[in-house]
Amino acid sequence: MSRERARRRAARVAEVERARAKRARVVARRQRRRALLRRLTPRLPNRRTGRLYARRSRGERAGVVVLALVALGAIWLFVDDLALRLGLIILLVLALPAIVVIALGRRT
- 108 part of a folded domain: no
- Say if pTM beats, i.e. exceeds, 0.85: no
Domain range for 81 is 58-103
- Residue 108: pLDDT band by 50, 70, 90 thresholds? very low
Same domain, 93 and 62: yes
User: Which letter, b or e, does each residue of 15-40 get, where b requires 16 or more Cβ atoms within 10 Å of its Cβ?
Assistant: eeeeeeeeeeeeeeeeeeeeeeeeee
d(CA 26, CA 51): 42
- When divided into structural domains, the chain yields a total of 2
Residues 31 and 69 in one domain: no
Confidence at residue 102, expressed as pLDDT on a 0 to 100 scale: 86
Answer yes or no: is 53 within a domain: no
Q: Is residue 50 part of a domain?
A: no
pLDDT per residue over 26-71, tens digit each?
999 999 999 998 888 887 776 666 665 567 778 888 889 999 999 9
Same domain membership, residue 91 and residue 62? yes
Quick check: is 84 in a domain?
yes
Sign of CA dihedral 36, 37, 42, 48: negative
In this structure, the answer to whether residues 35 and 64 fall within a common structural domain is: no
